[in-house]
Structure 1
Amino acid sequence: MNRSLAMKLGMIALLIMLLLIPLLMIGGLIGERQLQRDGVLDDIARSSSYSQQITGPLVVVPYRKTVRVWKTHAQNNERYQETQTERGELVFLPERFELDGKVSTELRSRGIYEARLFHADSRISGYFQLPEKLGLEEGFDDYRFERPYLAVGLSDVRGIENALSLQLNDQTLAFEPGTRVARLGDGVSADLPMLDGHQAARLAFSFDLKLQGTGQLRVTPVGKSSEVSLTADWPHPSFTGNYLPAQREVSAQGFTARWQTSFFSTNLEEGLRTCLHTENCEGLYGRSFGVSFIDPVDQYLKSDRAIKYALLFIALTFAGFFLFEVLKSLAVHPVQYALVGAALALFYLMLLSLSEHLGFALAYLVSAAACVTLIGFYVSHVLRGARHGVGFAAGLAALYGLLYGLLSAEDYALLMGSLLLFGLLGVFMVLTRKLDWYAIAPGIKGRTGEQP
């Protein structure tokens, strides 16, 4: 290869490597701004309420049990019987659990950042089927039962927006703060009428719950048969948890979704038992499902994805510059390469700053148009012709359009990127198929500054 050509290619490669410095700095700035945004959103959630998970209701029956134990006398080794009292709780899951909720969302702003809050107006209903002798076949007479209560776990009780009252069979009962069950966490509870215990009992319940939160709304399907229906004005739901909706409809006006589970699919009774007797409650809380109200259009995520293509973008632009050199026998100085590269790097800084105020799509359009106009104007003078400058700007605009397509098509980004590279390589090979690479450098040097 001609020494001058090798030096020119080496200089271009060095410029590309040097441009990595500002690109890395902009990438770091994207991460900093994202962390700052997340901190502001966390502050908004801290002053209102966090993500919400509803676990319950459960019926809890406290008891005192008389236990007879044998002991040995310390002096004469005689054995004698002694009675002790043990305290515990019987916990029952509902036979049927239903939640019918309507969710509305709103934006809360702090500076340039916005957090999306949701307000869930839910009707929770169902019934408990308590077995005869509360399932205690042996030693039932040794139990003394205290006043039972119904407990509902809520991950952030600050989000409760209404005065809660429980409809139990034909009675209206008041809720009180606290679940009284340590493993269930925060929530509310309501005292129930005393139970006879000897006979089976059916307890039908219902109550209205208005709940505010940010981020996610999740429900634990506590019933042997559970059905949850949600309707919301949010058009971009992200369904989360271990169970997807059995039915769902999503439109520009919002979504509707319905979940349906049974004990066979959740095995929640075992998860509850493990949670109450150990510190491992993953089997209880981990079997939840719900929906996320987080905005999927994250300008920081898209800006970070865009800058990952920056090196390829700069290399393709320099390749186009170099193609004009070899085909039109023009000499482009490394400083001119550097200025064009700096403009390409500043595109990502403009994109980041504008997207915080205009949204990603409009910010991308404005930043790309500004860079294409500036580089097209500059290149028309470097290449000694307005026609060359307009052609170069059109090619650059096409690259920006293809880059936006790559950012938008998450599932097909790899396929589109590989086809783009293959197509550009094919164009380069076709245009240079008859070029004498050994004679290229002297030709460029001899016509420096001449009109094309």
Structure 2
Amino acid sequence: MEQSRTPQQEKQQSNRFTYWLKTSITARMLMVGFLVIVLLIPLSYINSLIRERSYRQTDVVNEINDKWGSDVLIYGPVLKLPYKTYSEKTTYNQKSKTYFKETETQINYAYLFPEKLDVKTDVKSKSMYLGNFESAVFTSDFNINGEYKAPDLKSKDIKNEDVVWDKATLIFKTTNVKGIKTEMMVKLNDTPYNFDTNFSDNNNYKNRLDELETGFINQDILKDTFSFNMQVSYDGSEQIQMIPVGKTSTMSMTSNWADPGFIGAYSPDDETRSITEEGFKVNWKVLSINRAFSQLYLNKIPNLTQFGFGTKFVVLVDEYQKSERSAKYGFLVIGLTFLIFFLIQTMSKIHIHPFQYLMIGLALTMFYTLLVSISEHSNFLKAYLVAGVSVVTLITIYSKSILKSLKFSAFIGVSLSALYAFIYVIIQLENYALLVGSIGLFLILASVMFVSRKIDWHND
């Protein structure tokens, strides 16, 4: 029968376990690893905070743009030409017991694109703020010119006598109708025609294109080549694009915005492109051979938004993106910092309580909340410096009281400063971030291996 332990034996056993926790390298490693995992919880909340603030920025920018005017995409003008089609219907007459045929006439529409389309736009841009958030808004003046040849539908087996010439109209599609500042009018051979809005419940919200249509065009204009001219001004935001519906389409754009981004299916001409601190000037030219659609469509206007091109007015404010990238290295920062304290504790036989490790870890996580909050009121570099200096100073002073050594606390301060500087460099890099990060981590690993080579890991 097994003898029960006396209170004195249980106390000795408890003292041995406590002593093992204090002196065992394995126990310290397990404790440090557990605390690192625990600190992932506040790090996850910080990542959620960064995403929430980023979504808030997007909402505020959208609110600014909705009030001022949204992005601009122009599509047209497009000539809408009605024509007749015929179908025969056979009907049986019960009284006469005979069949007879009747011809039904339907009206369909052909949509013709211009031979030449030239768009010139002058864009006056500025930054608009709501709280701490910024959006790029602009006022753009468009001068749209072009040329149509006399319409001919014979290629689609449509006879001239079936075309309803006196019912032809001109269509212009555009986003941001709310932002139009001038009356919409087009001149055909110097004859003015006003546009009216064609509202449709079936408009695809994704494309956001509203349709404008003129009254009936004088059919005499359509008998020969004719020119058109439109002048329109928009209050808009973020970007300007056009769809190259002309057989030869050109666009020139000038602006006082210093940070353009060229978007869409076609790039501007490199030889004539000019970008300075005072603004930019660019030109595009798109030929019919450069795009995969024809000049004539029947029954409906095709969705050609994928062929749009133009300029995005970039706001160089990516603090939340940089903060999010920085927070992704939070696990690395906490792990390496704890590793430094662990090595100092192991080599110097200084006792560090788990609570003190926890305080150091929480101070490291506070870096990211400081970074996000300060960057909303300043630029990222200043926010990073303030947050980094604050946290490094706090941990250095705290480690002085723990380790009772100026040498060790100074080493920790220098190591943390180097680590934050290393991460800042990685955040700023794009193409070489992986290379620099890999080299840096290799050097850190080599340093740890060198420093820990003489530790007696078996003395547990």
Give TM-score, length-normalised by structure 1. 0.86
Equivalent residue pairs, number: 432
Give the equivalent residue in structure 2 for 1:401.
421
Give the equivalent residue in structure 1 for 2:14.
none
* 1:383-404 Cα shifts (integer Å, max 9, x gaps): 2233332232122111111111
Within 1, Cα distance between the matches of 2:294 and 2:374?
52
Give the equivalent residue in structure 1 for 2:256.
233
Within 2, Cα distance between the matches of 1:350 and 1:360?
11
The 5 Å alignment of 1:385-400 reads: 385-400=405-420
Q: Which residue of the other structure, out of 287, 290, 303, is the alignment partner of 2:323?
A: 303
1:207 paired with 2:230, answer: yes
* 1:171-228 Cα shifts (integer Å, max 9, x gaps): 14143232589879414333464224884x2121222222222222221111111112
Within 2, Cα distance between the matches of 1:175 and 1:38?
37
Distance of aligned partners of 1:67 and 1:255 in 2 relative to their CA distance in 1, 3 Å threshold = same
On the 8 A contact 1:225/1:261 being kept in 2, the answer is yes
Q: Which residue of the other structure, out of 277, 282, 285, is the alignment partner of 1:257?
A: 282
Deviation at 1:45, TM superposition (A): 2.4
Give the equivalent residue in structure 1 for 2:13.
none
Q: Once structures 1 and 2 are overlaid, which stretch shifts more, 246-255 or 394-403?
A: 246-255
Within 1, Cα distance between the matches of 2:279 and 2:57?
26
Give 2:292's aligned amino acid: N
Give the equivalent residue in structure 1 for 2:17.
none
Give the equivalent residue in structure 1 for 2:88.
69
SS at match of 1:223: coil
The 5 Å alignment of 1:71-150 reads: 71-75=90-94, 76=96, 78-132=98-152, 138-150=158-170
Distance of aligned partners of 1:197 and 1:47 in 2 relative to their CA distance in 1, 3 Å threshold = closer
* 1:305-362 Cα shifts (integer Å, max 9, x gaps): 1111100111111112223233444332222221111110000011111111112222
Within 2, Cα distance between the matches of 1:80 and 1:139?
26
Q: Which residue of the other structure, out of 162, 180, 186, is the alignment partner of 2:210?
A: 186
Q: Which runs of 5+ in 1 are unaligned?
A: 442-452
Q: What's the % identity of the aligned pairs?
A: 31
Q: Which runs of 5+ in 2 are unaligned?
A: 1-19
1:41 paired with 2:61, answer: yes
On the 8 A contact 1:119/1:211 being kept in 2, the answer is yes
Within 2, Cα distance between the matches of 1:9 and 1:275?
74
SS at match of 2:145: strand
Q: Which residue of the other structure, out of 195, 209, 214, is the alignment partner of 2:219?
A: 195
Distance of aligned partners of 1:136 and 1:385 in 2 relative to their CA distance in 1, 3 Å threshold = closer
Give the equivalent residue in structure 2 for 1:445.
none
Within 1, Cα distance between the matches of 2:231 and 2:155?
30
Give 1:267's aligned amino acid: A
Give 2:384's aligned amino acid: Y
Give the equivalent residue in structure 2 for 1:359.
379
Deviation at 1:16, TM superposition (A): 0.5
SS at match of 2:149: strand
SS at match of 1:116: strand
Deviation at 1:70, TM superposition (A): 4.8
Distance of aligned partners of 1:12 and 1:178 in 2 relative to their CA distance in 1, 3 Å threshold = same
1:266 paired with 2:291, answer: yes
Give the equivalent residue in structure 1 for 2:355.
335
Within 1, Cα distance between the matches of 2:135 and 2:277?
20
Give 1:302's aligned amino acid: K
RMSD of the TM alignment (CA)? 2.8
* 1:248-287 Cα shifts (integer Å, max 9, x gaps): 44343333332221222212337x738817xxx44x1221
